[in-house]
Structure 1
């Protein structure tokens, strides 16, 4: 599929050694972006993604390691990207643990890990990227949400994840308002079930999960230079799924 021209842009996708993050990063490589493959523990997989990015059109590709919930790690990994590729023009906040947990069985360790990876990681990486974006007068931040989280979806068995993703939606809108005069847009993509999910519900909208290509389309839309007036928005990639409670 055709995407925007990113030949003069540096892209960082968190958690891009595998899964959705990998596919989104490679989609930007297809558009000629300089790519930074982030990982926490999967060094070999990250190197493989960087090699694939070069094969698919990225002029440069580096791997960067760090825990996105640790401010020092975030600062260090951005410093590596800036040194090797230049300021981050496009940040995709993809990292976020999913841990199905009912309230009655929820341990603080699980709660904290899910909140930190999904919400705190998005905050820390965005905060670190913004000075460079403001200096150049250009930036695109895309956060990964979850379908129906804006509509107050209730899920007792996914307690911390739904709380975290609802927070990501509010964060997206608030940061969009704060950066509206800086040449920066902040938006979100919110899938339901994606093709690499560990489990699938018995019934899926349109009879299938979202494909990686289904997620690439809204990413390309948000990264297109002609959509610079679109900020604080969320595109749900859910096939029309609209539950009241799950």
Structure 2
């Protein structure tokens, strides 16, 4: 997939000023895409990513600010990208939030924030992207999930995050079914622990976390024209991890 040509595509990755989102976006810049670096509060980091994207071969690069949990803000994000780069061809819903506290101790505000950021943000951005994708009969939506969240094999301290990510995976399948008659595919990538994590648990498979390349490879697979029949799928990038039930 190193020869994948994205020079005629516009890519928006939410939360791409740092971490996983940054690496996913830069992998498309490497292949000539026009890229939109989305951020909420990290303006300086986003500008640095846009500069690097240009250096690495992006046709064009811009930064765009917005809150993916707010419908008006999401509309503003897409309007800005459309005005400068054209309609979004590839949307990667990467923004997420986490609350490492036992679910019974989590305040409603925190619970709601985690669901809004992970699930509502995916819904709002996908809904805004779809009309142009349908009109152009082409689109790629890739959602970032979490390994094994759909199986219910989770720890109670991760409760709202797993609930939200399970919803993201169900949304992925339902949206794929709703777009099966056109040139749009909807898929998900679900990592366990990634190399930029602050802490590494003892049960890491293969004695290492997932590298950024481990996540980039399935993204590029989904974007490859030869993968246009694959939709509604979830690739778990977890090294074979199976968590214990609690």
User: TM-score, length-normalised on structure 1?
Assistant: 0.98
Counterpart CA distance in 1 for 2:3 and 2:35 is: 15
Structure 1: unaligned runs, 5 residues or longer: none
CA contact (8 A) 2:186 2:231 kept: yes
Task: Tell me what 1:110 maps to.
Answer: 110
Give SS of 1:26's match: helix
Give SS of 1:117's match: helix
Task: Tell me what 1:172 maps to.
Answer: 172
Shift of 1:109: 1.0
Shift of 1:3: 5.1
Matching of residue 66 in structure 1 with residue 66 in structure 2: yes
CA contact (8 A) 1:140 1:184 kept: yes
Counterpart CA distance in 2 for 1:203 and 1:159 is: 19
Q: 1:13-69 deviations in whole A, cap 9, x for unaligned?
A: 000000000000000001110000000000000000000000000010000000000
Greater CA deviation, 25-34 or 198-207?
198-207
Give SS of 1:7's match: coil
Structure 2: unaligned runs, 5 residues or longer: none
Task: Tell me what 1:99 maps to.
Answer: 99
Q: 1:165-191 deviations in whole A, cap 9, x for unaligned?
A: 000010000000000112100000000
Give SS of 1:186's match: strand
Task: Tell me what 1:34 maps to.
Answer: 34
Shift of 1:2: 1.1
Task: Tell me what 2:130 maps to.
Answer: 130
CA contact (8 A) 2:9 2:89 kept: yes
Counterpart CA distance in 2 for 1:12 and 1:126 is: 11
Matching of residue 227 in structure 1 with residue 227 in structure 2: yes
- Classify 1:47/1:84 alpha carbon distance in 2 versus 1 (closer, same or farther; 3 Å): same
Task: Tell me what 2:181 maps to.
Answer: 181
CA contact (8 A) 1:153 1:162 kept: no
Counterpart CA distance in 2 for 1:21 and 1:3 is: 21
Counterpart CA distance in 1 for 2:76 and 2:182 is: 25
- Equivalent pairs, count: 246
Shift of 1:104: 2.0
Matching of residue 49 in structure 1 with residue 49 in structure 2: yes
Counterpart CA distance in 2 for 1:100 and 1:162 is: 11
Superposition CA RMSD, Å: 1.0
User: TM-score, length-normalised on structure 2?
Assistant: 0.98
Shift of 1:151: 1.8
Runs of 4+ in 1 over 6 A off after TM superposition: none
Task: Tell me what 1:77 maps to.
Answer: 77
